[in-house]
Amino acid sequence: MKRKGLKSKLLIRKTSTRKTTTADLRRLGTEKTNFASTDLDRKSALEIARIINAEDAKVAAAVKCALRQIAQAIDLIAAALAQGGRLIYIGTGTSGRIAALDAVECPPTFDVDPRMVQFIIAGGPKALGAAVEADEDSRELGRNAIAKKKPTKKDVVVGIAASGRTPFTIAAIKYARAHGAKTVAVVCNPKSPLGKAAHVAIVADVGPEVVAGSTRMKAGTAQKMILNTLTTGAMTRLGYVYGNLMVNLHTKNEKLVERGVGILEKTAGLDHAAAHKLLAAAGGRVPVAMVMAKAGVSRSQAAAALKESQGQVRRAITLAKRGSEFKS
C-alpha cells in the first residue's frame, strides 16, 4: 500500500510539473499565435512573403533594444580573448547551429586560432545536420558538455536559447559561472531562467512567430544578428579589423585574392597592378603587405611586427615604423 501511495504521489507530481511547464511555455511571447499571419495556409505565395518580410522587419528593432547589454558582452569577450581566454557558445537545435555558424566563421574572417571561439551543441556535431531534440531537456548532458571544456575565469560562455528555458543550456551556464567564467545569455523572452542565470542577459523580444513556435524564424534571425555583433565587435576592439576592412583574410581562392588586392588599393593608395605585385611580395598575406606598404619595411620586418602585435595590423604598423626609425 505504501508503494502504491508513493507511486501515486510521484505520478501526481510529474503530471503537475508537466502541466506547469506547458502553461509556462504558452505564456512565452515566442510561443504565442501571431495574428498577422492568421489563415497563412490560405494565402498566395506573394502574400506569405509579404507577411514574413513584415515580421522580419521587426527583428532589428528588437535587437536595438538590447544594445547596451550587447556592448557589455562585447567588452567581456574582448577582455577575455586579450588575456588568452576563449569565447564558448552553447545552445541546442537552431540556437546551437547558429552558434556553430558564427564560431567557425571567425578563423577565416579574422585569422584567429580556431580554439579562440568554440561552440557546443546538444547532441554533438551530428546535431548540426539532424535534429537531436531530446538532449536539450537534460541538465546533466549540459553540465557534462561544458565541463569537458574546463571553463575558467579567463573565459566567456554564451548560452543561446530563444525561450530562455532550455535545461541543457541553463545547466551549462550555471556550471561555467560556478567555475569563474563570465556568462552571457542570448534569449528572446524577458525574465527567463537562462537570463537570470547569466551575468549579462541580452533579450531580443521579437514576439510571436509567423508560424507559431517556429523560433528558427524571427528568433533565429535575432540570434544570428546578436552573435555576429558580439564577435565582430570583440575582434574589432582587439585590432583584427583595420578601419572597416577585413584585413586578416586568407587569400585561398581567386575571389579572396581580388578582395585582398582591393584592400591594398584602398589602404596603400596603389593601383591594381602595384597592389597585386605587393601582395605577391608579401607571400599572399594581406596584413604583411599592408605593414610593408604603410611602414615602408621589408617582408621579414612586417612579419616580425605582426607577430609581436599578435596579428593586430594597426599596432604592427606602428611597431614597424618605430623599428625602422630606430634602425635609421
Check: CB of residue 159 under 8 Å from CB of residue 183: yes
pLDDT at 136 (0 to 100): 83
Average pLDDT over residues 15-39: 62
Helix, coil or strand: residue 183: strand
User: Any idea which of 14-28, 133-147, 213-227, 251-265 has the lowest mean pLDDT?
Assistant: 14-28
Q: Is the pLDDT of residue 17 over 70?
A: no
pLDDT at 37: 80
With pLDDT > 90 as the criterion, what percentage of the chain qualifies?
Answer: 70
Least confident of 60-64, 162-166, 248-252: 248-252
* Residue ranges per structural domain of the chain: 56-237, 254-327
Helix, strand, coil share (%) of the chain residues, nearest 5: 60, 10, 30
- CATH class of segment(s) 254-327: mainly alpha
Angle between helices 67-82 and 218-237 (to 10 degrees): 50
Q: Give the β-pairing of 156-161 and 117-121.
A: unpaired
More confident residue, 5 or 26: 26
Q: Could you tell me the CA-to-CA distances from 278 to 212, 253, 290, 309, 319 in Å, in that order?
A: 55, 17, 9, 21, 20
Residue with cell 506547469: 20
Entry pTM: 0.85
User: How many C-beta atoms lie closer than 10 Å to residue 103's C-beta?
Assistant: 20
- Burial of 219 by CB count in 10 Å (0-12 exposed, 13-18 middle, 19+ buried)? buried
- Beta partners for residue 121, in sequence order: 91
Instruction: Give the model's pLDDT for residue 208.
Output: 86
- Dist CA 323 CA 184 (whole Å): 41
- Number of residues in the chain: 328
What average pLDDT does this structure show over 9-29? 51
| pLDDT tens readout for residues 75-92 | 999 999 999 999 999 999
Measured between alpha carbons, how far is 320 from 314 in angstroms, rounded to an integer?
Answer: 10
Q: Does residue 267 contact residue 252 with C-beta atoms inside 8 Å? A: no
Per-residue model confidence (pLDDT) at position 135 = 80
pLDDT given for residue 11 in this prediction: 45
Q: Which CATH class is domain 56-237?
A: alpha beta
Q: Are 187 and 162 in contact (CB under 8 A)?
A: yes
Share of the chain above pLDDT 70, in %: 90
Mean pLDDT across the stretch 291-298? 94
Give the SS3 label for residue 245.
strand
For the ranges 35-39, 182-186, 195-199, which has the lowest average pLDDT?
Answer: 35-39
pLDDT at 12 (0 to 100): 44
**57 vs 48: CA distance, rounded Å:** 14
CA 107 to chain centroid, in Å, comes to 13
Residue range 133-148, pLDDT digits in tens: 768 889 999 999 999 9
In terms of pLDDT, which residue wins out, 245 or 57? 57
Average pLDDT over residues 66-78: 98
Residue 186 bridge partners (DSSP): 160, 202
Look at residue 27 in the predicted model and tell me its pLDDT.
73
pLDDT exceeds 70 at position 6 = no
Lowest mean pLDDT among 4-13, 78-87, 265-274: 4-13
Q: What is the mean pLDDT of residues 151-167?
A: 96
Positions marked active-site? 105, 136
Q: Strand (E) positions, 27-151?
A: 87-91, 117-121
Residue 83 corresponds to which cell in the numbers above?
588575456
Instruction: Give residue for cell 538532449.
Output: 135
When the pLDDT of each residue in the chain is averaged and rounded to a whole number, the result is: 89
Closest CA to 290 of 314, 256, 319: 314
SS3 296: coil
The pLDDT value given to residue 29 = 61
In which band, very low, low, confident or very high, does the pLDDT at 23 lie, cut at 50, 70 and 90? very low
Write out pLDDT tens, residues 84-113.
999 999 999 999 999 999 999 999 899 899
At 26, the pLDDT band (50, 70, 90 cuts) reads low
What is the C-alpha separation between 306 and 328, in angstroms, rounded? 20
Confidence class for position 24, pLDDT limits 50, 70, 90 = low
The per-residue b/e assignment along 55-78, b for 16 or more CB within 10 angstroms, e otherwise, is beebbeebbeebeebbebbbebbb
